[in-house]
Each structure stands twice: as C-alpha cells, then as structure tokens.
Chains A and B, each alone.
Chain A
C-alpha cells in the first residue's frame, strides 16, 4: 500500500466540462378566457373539418390517400398560435389539413383541393398530401415520409441567410423520426445554429407499427442528444401545455441558440389513413383517449370553470359547423380543372 501510494502522482487538476445550456422547463400557458376561447374554436374547426372530410371520403368525393388529424388538434393549435403567419414558416408531412387550418388558411380552398377541384389551393393538382400557401408561409404538405425535415431545415437556412427574424416549424411523426435524413438535418442545423423547431408528433403508431416495435429510443425528445440539440417532452393533448412549450422553443430559436426538438405525446383517433381498419390497437385504448384526454373536451371544461356558459360553447359549435358546411358545399359544387390544366405548370419558364 505504502509503496503504491509513493509512486502514484497526484492527479492534475482537469477543468470539468460544464453541462451545456438547456432551455428552461416550459410552463403551462396562462391563457385569458378570450385566448382560450380562440384556441378552442381553432381546435373545433379542425375536428369538424376532418369529420366532414371523412364523410366526403365515404361518399367517394375525396379519393386516394386521406390522413385525418382528429385527436391531435392541440398540437397544431398550441404551437402555431404562438407563431407569426407570414414571418415564421411551417412545413409538414402528408397529415397536413390541421396544420393548414391552424395557420389561418381558408377551409374552402383546402376542402376543394381534397375534392380535386380547380378552386382548390393547388388547383386540384396536389390533393390531400400536397397543399401549400407561400403567402401564409406554409410550405406543404409533403408526401415522402421525412422529406419535410430536410426541407424545413432549408427554410430555416433561408431565415438565417436573409436575417428575416423568422423561425421554421418542421413537423414530423414518430415514424419519420427513424428516417436517415432527419439526422443529416439535425447535424447541419446544430452546426450552423439554424432557427428550426423540430416538432415530433408522437401519436404512438407509424401507420400500423407501434413505437415499441420500431424505436430503440422511444423517448423522441432525446433523439437530438448526439447532435447537442435539446429536447422537451410535451403533453400534446393539452393545448396550453403545448402553447407554453412553443414559447420556450421560439425564444430558444429566435435568440440564435439553434434548433430545438419538441416531442408532443398525442393520439390519432382514426386510422392512419381512411383505408386503415386500425386492427393493431384495441378499442379500449382509443376509447380511453377519447374519454379522458380529448384536447377539446379538456379545453371546454376549463372554459366552463372560467365561467363560460354551456350555451356559449354550443353557439361556437354551431358557428364552426356552418363554416365547415359551407366549405363542403363549395368543394362539392366547384368545377373540376379544365383539361388544358394537365400540361400547365410543369415548368415555370418556357424554353
């Protein structure tokens, strides 16, 4: 013992690596009655719009793939209500109707796109998965799982390059989170401190494959750790919790600290798309979310506690229903695109 103690040199003082800076834990947003009413309305618009889209699909008026957002409304509304339309950009995958409605895009133009009409936002050439509104700063609507992550990183590059103060919100799901390009994007975004919020909507199923069966790290908010991107897990069924997290994420990205990941734990009530019988989960599981966690019910109860009368909520429901009825009517009656539209807009210029 004595001998070894004699030969052992005293360790040199090595400065310890401090833990890197992380965002603060978000707090639930303190909404006024009016603010909460507005969030409630927006969520309800998405819910009723999607229910109607499902009906039109059943009637054969909407074709192809149609992915409904029912159950996930608090995510789009909570995040996007904290952003500035036209300044901040939003990009998403194919489950895009809710993200568009939450950015103030006209429900008529969206519904007419779903029915493939000339008055649709993409003139009927894009369909459910491919809708855009450059005017609003909504950049799609992309059908290839994960593509919006690299594209969104590019939009953030544009915000930084142009020094326009904007932030890009790039949505993707727990399924897309396993795509390789997501991590290529994470690496560049953190290297260059790009202002991008990666919002992972974890609805527990990538089509029919559960997170348990597909993700070695099921806590998606940790997926940026290897790239030094901080992550926050958020209750995606609580619109005020989401709104609170959005404030922290926007503060972080706008102040030049680079990207941030929000994992929003949420749930879709319907199948992956209209053609999905959803045999991979139990009726009880879905029922439990609907009865106990529904974001619209939860907001409704809070409004009641704030003294909003039941009649007032019913009036809102009626108002929203009317908007959706008008959108559906418009979408059914609008004419299909002219045959000449087939060959237009393949290229911008003529050569």
Chain B
C-alpha cells in the first residue's frame, strides 16, 4: 500500500507553492535524508527530503506546476516503514527563509496539511494567526478610483516593493538600508529585485546592528538623503527606538524647524504565526503616542503602495508598520502612473447604518469578516480603516459615529493604552451626544503572545468576538 507524499508547508502562513523540480523519478529507491524535490514560494526556495526508506511509485504533480496547495498529494511512495511522510529539509543557505524572525518550519506538517486541505467554507483555522489570514483572504474591498481605471491583483509584498522601486527611480536621494535587504533579496522578500536594479550603493546590507543603522539612517536624513530603513521586524526596532524617537522625531521641533529628518522606518509589525512573545507585538500605539512622528499602518496592497510612496516623499520621519501575515495576500491595485495616497486620511471600507467598526492593519480583515456575518443577521456595519495612526483622522471616526451612533474598535494588539483607548477617548470627548451605547473594543488578550496553538488562538482577535461586540452595542 503506497503512502501519499503531500505538498509541505514551508512556513505557517504558506498556502500554496510551486513544485519547481523533481530530483527523483518514478521507480527510484530513496532513503531517509534524500532530497526529493525543490519547492518554491514567493518568499523562499526549500528542499523537500524523504524521512523514510522506500520507492517512488508514482509522481502525481509534474515539476514546474504553480499554485500547488499545501497538503495536495504530489507523489506516492511504497515504503518499508510505517510512515513515509516527508518533512522539509533544512534550508539551503542561499535561498531559504532566514533563521532570524521568520516563523520556523513546523516539524509536524500534518496539522498544517489537514487544515489547509479543507475547503474554505468548512475551514476551522487551527491557529489564531491563520484566522487573521483567512479573514484577509476572504474579504475583498472596493477601491475609490474613477470608474474604468484598470486594476491588477498584486500581493502586499509586491506593492511595497513597487512603491520603493518607483520612488527610487524618481529620486536619487532615496536608498534602502537594513539587514538582508540586498543580496538575500529581503528576509521577507519585500526588497526583491531592488539590488539588481539599483546596485549596492542604494540597496545596502547592514550587519545585525539595529541601533547603529537606525542612527546612521537618521544622520543621513539630517544630511539631506531620503533613507528607507528596513527592520526585519519591528520587534528588533526596540534596540533602535532611541533614534526613532530622540533623534528622528524631535529634530524638527528642537531645531526650530531648521533641521529635518525625512526618513521611513519600515518593516513587519504585530503578531506573526507561532513565533511567540518576543516576535509578536503591535508597536502602533507606542509610536503613535510620539509627537513628531507620522505612523502609518496599511491593510491592503493599494494602500500599502500609495501610502509608502507618500511616506518616502514626506519631509517628516515616518514609522511604516507592515504586517507579515498580509504580505502574501493579493488585492487590486490601480494601474495608474503614480499611485500616491494622502497620509492622515481614513477610508470607509464598507458602508453601513447600524454600527461602526473601526480598525487598522490586519484587524480590518477581521472587521470586514464580522461585517459579512452581521449583514446575514440584518445588521449593516460600516467599516473604517484608519490607515494612518498619527495624525489620526478623528473626523472620519466622528462622522461615522454620528451616522450609526454605535461603535466597536478592533485592534490586533494589547488593550491598555492602545489605539482603541484613543478612539474611545475621542468618542467620549467629541462624540458623546452621538453615542447610543458605550464604545466597545475587541483586542488581543492582555498577555505576552503564547506559543501553543490553542493559546495563541485564544489570545488573538477573531471575527466572532467582533460580531458579539457589535450586537451588544446594538442591544441585540
């Protein structure tokens, strides 16, 4: 009886990949450790190795096939051992996912496979982050572009890269600096291709030295350049927060407007998948509390591109918070020559009459999913994406509140001293007469993010909690 070899997940967020190459053919005998195939995603190339002895009896998916779903049977092996399921080999050094920060490849791929194999409707996400990703994948939004504008589906990752490349072509002063941004093509592949086009002068690999290169970038900006400083994740920016706040944010004010620091600090922020407490934190509220900084946290690809371009052009220091779980998600981006969006403007993602759901970054997907469910129960929810956390678009929040008189804030982050706290304060101070119910919030649990799948799921926001909160403020 043959055992099916299944398409492996190379990272907890991978859903599909390309079967780039078979290194065995039907009839070959293999033993544990032999490389069977090479699998590619947009992020990395991995080798896929056998964990048991046996004979490859059948190859089900030919090499060169794109879009192979995780868990799909790709070959059959007649084994001598009980289990012939292969596991991904350790990464090839030149092309694999980085050891630092990127979620480790799960050793028990079966859990992953069982989950992703199921059709979407029956899907019961195994972890909290898969829940966040699936919300983003299921909900689509319309763009505010003139009718007839052509759009193209691109991932958030590509949109960010395109924004940087376009601005680098436009302005010689713009350069990218950070760990693994050049030769490695980006730890999360956001800077893919930039080195080839712009060369090592403008795409600069640094040692692992956040404090140093954040300071170096700030100094270069004071001197008149336009640095884009990539943090592999914003967790590591804690080593550099002194320069972000003390050097970059305060310069214009304390020099009486004489010296500027036009710099973009960007990278993934918030919970990633199963990487636990030190690699999973939303720093939005931290940076948004600092006068002198602009803080942007986009949700979809069109905003990622349009707002990153605006950020690079701004004369102010900008903290640009991306989300790793969204990098691989596809959204429509308008095909216009210069897609630049205004900083400081929220966006109505979905109109509604009964309740307003305010969110930003990955929380927007959860809010939209909740709005879908609520619609089925006769409650129309208006969903607002803040997009910029500082300066906050207070008017957009208050206008929607005046329309629906009820509000829920959704935030993938801690509740204490958060963006939700701020939105609630604004509603109290400036929208009190419009409130028909107290504002409620749905946030992550007030704990360091746990590793265990079930605990992680309990800690992170989910649509059903948003539905409950929305019903509560509607007294339903």
Which residues of A are at the interface with B, using a C-beta cutoff of 8 A?
Answer: 89, 91, 120-126, 130-134, 139-140, 142-144, 147, 149-155, 157-159, 161-162, 180-181, 184-185, 187-188, 191, 344-349, 351
Contact = CB atoms under 8 A, between A and B. Distances in A.
B292 A151 contact: no
A191 B251 CA distance: 28
A147 B254 contact: no
Given A139-B259, A346-B253, A346-B291, A150 B223 contact: no
Contacts of A345: 252-253, 256-257
Contact of B254 (A91, A125, A133): A125
Given A142-B247, A154-B219, A188-B212, A349 B256 contact: no
B342 A150 contact: no
Interface string B189-233: 000000000000100001101011111111111111100000000
A119 B298 CA distance: 41
B121 interface: no
B329 interface: no
Interface centre among A142, A159, A161, by most B CB within 10 Å?
A: A161
Contact of A139 (B212, B223, B250): B223
Contacts of B327: none
A91 B219 CA distance: 10
A178 to B, nearest CB: 14
B259 A140 contact: yes
A89 B294 CA distance: 28
A181 B258 contact: no
Contacts of B262: 348
B385 interface: no
12 contacts: A121-B256, A122-B254, A122-B256, A150-B215, A150-B218, A154-B220, A157-B219, A158-B219, A184-B209, A185-B216, A188-B207, A351-B345
Given A147-B246, A151-B215, A154-B223, A344 B314 contact: no
Nearest to B216: A154
B207 A351 contact: no
Given A181-B215, A344-B257, A349-B314, A147 B222 contact: no
A185 B207 contact: no
Nearest to A138: B259
A106 to B, nearest CB: 14
A305 B147 CA distance: 86
Given A153-B212, A154-B222, A155-B219, A188 B256 contact: no
B343 interface: yes
Contacts, number: 152
Interface class of chain A by DSSP: mixed
Contacts of A121: 256, 258
Interface of B: 175, 201, 206-207, 209, 211-225, 242-243, 246-247, 250-260, 262, 291-292, 294, 314-316, 342-345, 388, 391
Nearest to A147: B247
A153 B391 contact: no
A89 B225 CA distance: 14
A161 B204 CA distance: 11
B158 to A, nearest CB: 26
B254 A155 contact: no
A326 to B, nearest CB: 22
Contacts of A158: 219-220, 223-225
B347 to A, nearest CB: 14
Contact of B219 (A122, A150, A348, A351): A150
B221 A161 contact: no
Contacts of B258: 121-122, 132-134
A116 B388 CA distance: 34
A89 B209 contact: no
A150 B291 contact: no
A155 B220 contact: yes
A169 to B, nearest CB: 13
B6 to A, nearest CB: 45
A129 B201 CA distance: 34
> Which 4 residue pairs of A and B lie closest in terms of their CB atoms, listed nearest first?
A154-B219, A150-B215, A184-B212, A123-B256
Given A120-B256, A348-B262, A351-B344, 14 more contacts: A122-B255, A150-B211, A150-B218, A151-B222, A155-B222, A157-B219, A157-B223, A180-B211, A181-B215, A184-B215, A188-B216, A344-B257, A351-B294, A351-B345
A266 B343 CA distance: 50
Nearest to B262: A348
A191 B207 contact: yes
Given A147-B247, A184-B209, A187-B209, A347 B292 contact: yes
B211 to A, nearest CB: 5
A172 B250 CA distance: 21
Nearest to B313: A349
Given A158-B223, A161-B225, A347-B292, A151 B218 contact: yes
B263 to A, nearest CB: 10
A133 B347 CA distance: 40
A344 B257 CA distance: 8
Interface centre among B201, B222, B256, by most A CB within 10 Å?
A: B256
B298 to A, nearest CB: 15
Contacts of B260: 348
Contacts of B242: 144, 147
Contacts of B225: 157-158, 161-162
Contacts of A134: 258-259
A209 B214 CA distance: 29
Given A155-B220, A351-B294, A150 B212 contact: yes
A159 B314 CA distance: 22
Contacts of B207: 184, 187-188, 191
Given A132-B258, A144-B242, A150-B219, A347 B213 contact: no
B381 to A, nearest CB: 27
A191 B204 CA distance: 12
B253 A153 contact: no
Interface centre among B224, B254, B343, B344, by most A CB within 10 Å?
A: B254
Contact of A161 (B175, B212, B215, B344): B175
B105 to A, nearest CB: 31
B69 to A, nearest CB: 42
A118 B288 CA distance: 29
B255 A132 contact: yes
Contacts of A188: 206-207, 209, 212-213, 216
A180 B240 CA distance: 12
A121 B343 CA distance: 31
Contacts of A349: 314-316
Contacts of B342: 351
Contacts of A344: 257
Contacts of B257: 123, 344-345, 348
A136 to B, nearest CB: 11
